[in-house]
């Protein structure tokens, strides 16, 4: 098992089992989480002979395969995992914040029609250390502390809830990121919202809605066929009652598809009386789909219609989207170049 993701007590038990004094557990903890070592051989406070002995121990760090800096300061990384799979992670600096957009799976089984990751198929779940590594890697490459984490990279986090919860615990306890600075984004998986609510976390939940009615939603999100919109919204309302936390709805705006005046009316009716916020995300064109990005003016009109109907909404600016750096596309480009 990788060392990354373990608590100070677990690390202390581990060093003790190696016949070392227990204070070395605290040292290991500091070097893993705060100095971000990639191998135990780098821990210079450990005796040289022990370090040589530890060389092959799995810390749980990835290898950086590709860097892509965007003109707005966003860093997108392609990371190579121990079994050769690759994932994307993105560091987004905005003012004094540094947000990391982490992946929770290699690929994604949800197959949303406008999503590059969904078009690429699914490989496997990530382990907790593979999620944590993304945050530590962005932190060291951008040379500043990460303040926020969003599970909006590749994958569906509620299909990997156990590992995601472990990673959240560790981000909070060991890396020092407040739960209120962590957002989990999901398309909605039956029964999993209830499960998530039962942990009573302070994190923010974002639900990918993308359509105001069942028919359109299941066209865009195939898995929605097994989770009716009415049930999803009912589960969201229960989640808010149970946790006292507000929900954000994400709505990727596809020109002419889900941004007509009647869509605004349907959405307002769907969310009436529901304390929530709608984030409009202009569609980010991908090569595998034929949707159109809405114009700035059109997006603004749709926003105004929603606001006039009493829906709390705002537009989310996409960042780091020049060339192949949009969601899922860096990995896709690499797979095409080096299959
Ligand atoms: N599986 C989770 C998290 C992954 S993606 C979920 O679906 O919520 C994070 C957000 O980006 C989702 O709302 C997703 O629908 C959106 N997204 C994916 N591809 C996009 C694209 N090409 N343009 C705009 N938004 C996109």
Q: What is the pLDDT along the chain (339 residues), one digit of tens a residue?
A: 899 999 999 999 999 999 999 999 999 999 999 999 999 999 999 999 999 999 889 999 999 999 999 888 899 999 999 999 999 999 999 899 999 999 999 999 999 999 999 998 999 999 999 999 999 999 999 999 999 999 999 999 999 999 999 999 999 999 999 999 999 999 999 999 999 999 999 999 999 999 999 999 999 999 999 999 999 999 999 999 999 999 999 999 999 999 999 999 999 999 999 989 999 999 988 888 999 999 999 999 999 999 999 999 999 876 655 545 555 555 655 555 544
Measured from the Cα of 318, ligand 1's closest atom is: 24
Q: Whose CA is nearest to atom 17 of ligand 1?
A: 115
Catalytic residue, from 10, 88, 141, 215: name it. Answer: 88
Q: Whose CA is nearest to atom 2 of ligand 1?
A: 186
Chain center to CA of 19: 39
Q: Judge if the beta carbon of residue 284 lies within 6 A of ligand 1.
A: yes
Q: What are phi and psi of 243, to 5 degrees?
A: -100, -20
Query: How far apart, in whole angstroms, are the C-alpha atoms of residue 93 and residue 290?
Result: 30
**Residue 4 · residue 32 · CB < 8 Å:** yes
Q: Is 327 a catalytic residue?
A: yes
Query: How far apart, in whole angstroms, are the C-alpha atoms of residue 331 and residue 81?
Result: 13
Q: Judge if the beta carbon of residue 187 lies within 6 A of ligand 1.
A: yes
| CA–centroid distance, residue 208 to ligand 1 (Å) | 7
Beta-sheet strands, E only, within the chain: 63-69, 75-80, 86-94, 97-101, 105-107, 122-125, 148-151, 182-186, 204-208, 247-253, 276-282, 313-315
Q: Is 130 a catalytic residue?
A: no
Token pair, residue 287, equals 């090569």
């Amino acid at each position: 098992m990788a060392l990354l993701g373990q608590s100070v007590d677990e690390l202390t038990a581990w060093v003790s089992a190696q016949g070392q004094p227990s204070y070395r557990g605290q040292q290991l903890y500091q070097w893993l989480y705060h100095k971000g070592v990639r191998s135990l051989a780098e821990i210079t406070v450990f005796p040289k002979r022990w370090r040589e002995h530890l060389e092959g121990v799995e810390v749980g760090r990835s290898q950086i395969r590709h860097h892509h800096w965007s003109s707005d300061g966003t860093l997108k990384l392609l990371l190579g995992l121990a079994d050769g799979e690759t994932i994307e992670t993105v560091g987004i600096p905005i003012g004094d914040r540094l947000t990391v957009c982490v992946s929770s799976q290699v690929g994604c089984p949800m197959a949303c029609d406008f999503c590059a990751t969904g078009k690429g198929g699914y490989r496997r779940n990530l382990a907790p250390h593979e999620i944590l590594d993304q945050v530590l890697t962005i932190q060291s490459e951008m040379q500043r502390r990460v303040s926020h984490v969003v599970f909006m990279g590749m994958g569906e986090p509620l299909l990997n809830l156990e590992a995601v919860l472990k990673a959240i615990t560790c981000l909070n306890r060991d890396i020092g990121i407040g739960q209120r600075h962590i957002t989990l984004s999901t398309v909605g998986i039956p029964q999993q919202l209830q499960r998530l609510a039962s942990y009573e976390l302070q994190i923010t939940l974002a639900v990918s809605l993308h359509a105001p009615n069942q028919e359109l939603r299941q066209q865009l999100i195939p898995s929605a066929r097994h989770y009716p919109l009415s049930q999803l919204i009912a589960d969201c309302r229960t989640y808010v009652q149970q946790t006292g936390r507000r929900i954000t709805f994400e709505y990727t705006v596809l020109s002419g598809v889900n941004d007509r005046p009647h869509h605004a009316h349907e959405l307002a009716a769907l969310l009436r009386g529901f304390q929530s916020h709608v984030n409009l995300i202009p569609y980010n064109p991908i090569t595998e789909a034929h949707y159109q990005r809405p114009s700035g003016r059109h997006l603004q009109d749709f926003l105004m219609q929603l606001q006039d109907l009493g829906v709390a909404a705002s537009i989310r600016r996409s960042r780091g989207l020049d060339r192949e750096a949009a969601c899922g596309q860096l990995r896709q480009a690499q797979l095409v170049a080096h299959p």
